[in-house]
Structures are given as C-alpha cells and as structure tokens.
Amino acid sequence: MKPGKRESWKILQGRPATEICREARRGYDLLVMAGRGQGAVSNLLLGSTVQELLRVSPIPLLVLPSR
C-alpha cells in the first residue's frame, strides 16, 4: 500500500463486472476477488464476474481461493 493510501470498500449497483471496472478506473492499484469455493471440482472454476474481470479489468486482479 502506498503511503497515505487506505484500503476501502464500497457497495455498487448494476452489472457487477461493469461497475467494478468503472470504480477501478478511479485510481485503485489492485482488485482482490475470491473464487467460488463450492467443492473440490468447483474450486477449479471461477465465477462469471471473476472470469469477465480477468478479461476486461483496467488494473491488476488478484484472485484468491475462498475458504
């Protein structure tokens, strides 16, 4: 984290990937998302929002496994 910057969260309305990308363009450094985590086989699959963000995100995206 850069000096003087803080982590934050927001509640957005609309199409998830579109709104997340719009917000990301406002000066964030990184997006962090969690995978679905619905069983051993499903852990290999990502949700549709994460898949779309991997294609269109204007900033780096870190995808973590859910617990």
Which pTM does this prediction carry? 0.71
Residue 67 has pLDDT above 90, yes or no: no
37, 66 Cβ separation under 8 angstroms? yes
Give me the residue spans of the domains in the chain: 16-64
What are the tens digits of pLDDT across the range 6-63?
Answer: 777 789 899 999 999 999 999 889 999 887 655 555 545 678 888 899 999 999 999 9
Nearest to 16 by CA among 47, 45, 44: 47
Cα distance between residue 25 and residue 16, in whole Å = 14
Res 23: pLDDT: 93
Res 31: pLDDT: 92
| 3 state SS of 14 | coil
Res 15: pLDDT: 94
